[in-house]
Amino acid sequence: MLHDMPLIETIVAGLGLAFVFGTLVNRFGISPIVGYLLAGISVGPFTPGFVADQGLATELAELGVILLMFGVGLHFSLADLMSVRAIALPGAVVQIACATLLGMGLAWLLGWSVGAGLVFGLALSVASTVVLLRAMQERRLIETGKGRIAVGWLIVEDLAMVLTLVLLPAFATALGGTAPSSGSGVFTDLGLGVSGVILMTVFKLCLFVVLMLLVGRRIIPWALQMTASSGSRELFRLAVLAITLGVAFGAASLFGVSLALGAFFAGMIMAESDLSHRAAEDTLPLRDAFAVLFFVSVGMLFDPRSLIEDPLPILATVLIIVFGKSLAAFVIVRAFGHPVSTALTISVSLAQIGEFSFILAELGGRLNILPPQARDLILAGAILSIMLNPILFSSIDRLRQRLERGALVEAAPSVSPATFGGGRGHEPQTQPAGTVPTHIPAGSVAIESENLRPTALVDHLVLVGYGRVGSRIAQRLADAGRSFVVIEDADKRVARIRTAGLEAVVGNAVKPEVLGAANIAKARDIVLAFPNSFEAVAIINAARAANPSVRITARVHSGEQRERLIHAGADTVINGDEVTARAIAEHLLDARSDLPPGDGPILQAEEPMNGAALTAGSDRLP
């Protein structure tokens, strides 16, 4: 009966082979994305054996795009989006123009028409939403200035492609193709012409944005709050998915906006609710699973024989995508005064193409504008650029490390021990009032250019993370006069740290150079104040390599995670759930039985517990 279940076949084959190939390439230090693409090639129509349903795989992949953009929207606000408009809008437009001209040049060399070259160049100019967001999320860059610029840039590209897809049928004849059988569309049929199509598209886009800001901003948080008050986590999770998918589908079907952009606005509006953090957690497993299916669906489109039949045109296409687009983006970002590290990150994140390129290639072929060879070149360019993207990111990571090490050497003499305080017993370190910024805007150059300013502290504590738990730990440490430095990579949290007069090292603690800037080699303690056990293991290994005697304290949410961190080398691992349960039980047992309910001692949930209470009963290595 398996032939009657194409949906299950596609999901099982896609996820199963993606796991196998992803695991294999990961063992060789290659990004699992390459494995996902290989899985798609293996179940595609151009390789022997089982062939998955390509149409179903593509639709499942769209769910991954929707959930990814929804997750990004949860970390954004309208102010964040507007803060990068000065570079995202002109940058994306100029970069699209440069890539389109390069594509037209290659088309001219191949003997294609001007119209074919224009559509081909546009297809090479727009980056894949999924690839860019996955790369940013893996490096925890979404909430940084670099991430906001990249996402803003991506949204401008998204809007440009929506307009292109709407206008292409109207210009098909002028571009040397065939007009669609239904004419140029309802608006031209009404006598509005091409200008009417443009105006109506812009009008519908503006109407969607206004509805989301005026109506969605009130209804969506209210619906979440009402569902959460029912006490059913299942209904809450269902509400999040229904709102996300409903807004995305409505945006596409009613307003002509892409599914991805609709989902982004749904997430951005939902971010204003106090329940946004819980919404992000509930959608994370589905987001990751469907994102994998996106790469599988892309792999299914690739015909490996094209590498043999058209090697030089494919090579030229890949060079335009990987180097032509990147160079244009790099120059633009640098022209706006951003540092080299930001320019490198933005340029490499855009050095690939994806879903919009496939849609544009398919539409161009259907309108007889693009020759069949163009579709093959676009697909091959997409596959190869997506495969190369993790390698490019690794290369710029190594380059950035060299640049940052040079910055560390230059900056070291300018920091004196008196600046921030000394070891145990000294006053908490503070920056001079005049140097502590009261506001650091998203994407500011100041954060990125000073992100690895080394600390002069010794015999100190390194606190990794300044979230709900980390900020409270920092408060108690400062009150106790303990010298410490905070490692954080989210701009808004860095602004809070510096406004509080605390010393911060901006970056991901997984990177040895970031730990080096925090002087982990001469630190007494390091505290991991976040519950991500997989990332914590990498930090523990890096900290132990730099300072074998440092005391490592970490927090987790389960016994399994605690065992993992103890095995990795943590000295003290605190299970937050166990501490909470113990505190509640002790409160109940210590309450006097002769007092009516409500008259006993009250635990202050906002106050961190003292060190003895936290470490009692936790696992400690001898």
Contact 86, 148 (CB under 8 A): no
Q: Which two tokens stand for residue 434?
A: 């005049």
pTM: 0.65
Q: What is the DSSP letter of 171?
A: T
Q: Is the pLDDT of residue 317 over 90?
A: yes
d(CA 493, CA 439): 11
CB 117 within 8 Å of CB 99 = no
- Give the mean model confidence (pLDDT) for residues 302-328: 90
Instruction: Kindly report, residue by residue over 264-280, the tens digit of the pLDDT.
Output: 888 888 877 777 777 77
Instruction: Spell out the alpha helix ranges (H) of 481-575.
Output: 491-499, 512-517, 533-546, 559-568
Cβ atoms within 10 Å of 144's Cβ, excluding its own? 27
How confident is the model over 47-55, as a mean pLDDT? 85
- 411 or 336, greater pLDDT: 336
Q: Coil, strand or helix: which one is 220?
A: helix
Residue 620, φ and ψ in degrees, nearest 5: -130, 135
pLDDT over 80 (residue 384): yes
Tell me the three state secondary structure of residue 484: strand
pLDDT at 102: 94
How many residues are given for the chain? Answer: 622
Residue-wise pLDDT for 356-374, tens only, equals 888 888 788 888 899 888 8
Looking at residue 3, what is its pLDDT?
Answer: 56
Using CA atoms, how far apart are residues 553 and 570, in angstroms rounded to an integer? 6
Q: What average pLDDT does range 132-146 have in this prediction?
A: 78
pLDDT digits (tens, 9 = 90+) for 276-300: 777 777 777 787 788 888 888 888 8
Q: 120 and 374 in contact (C-beta within 8 Å)? A: yes
Structure tokens at 51: 């062939």
Residue 308: predicted pLDDT: 87
pLDDT at residue 591 greater than cutoff 80: no
Name the β-bridge partners of 551.
525
Q: Which range is least confidently modeled, 118-122, 465-469, 492-496?
A: 492-496
In the prediction, which pLDDT does 622 show? 34
In this structure, the strands spanning 504-506 and 484-488 are parallel
Q: Does 30 score more than 80 pLDDT?
A: no
More reliable by pLDDT, 522 or 495 = 522
Asked whether the beta carbons of 468 and 490 are under 8 A apart, the reply is no
Q: Which residues of 213-242 are buried (b: 16+ CB within 10 A; e: fewer)?
A: eeebbeebbebbeebbeeeeeeebbebbbe
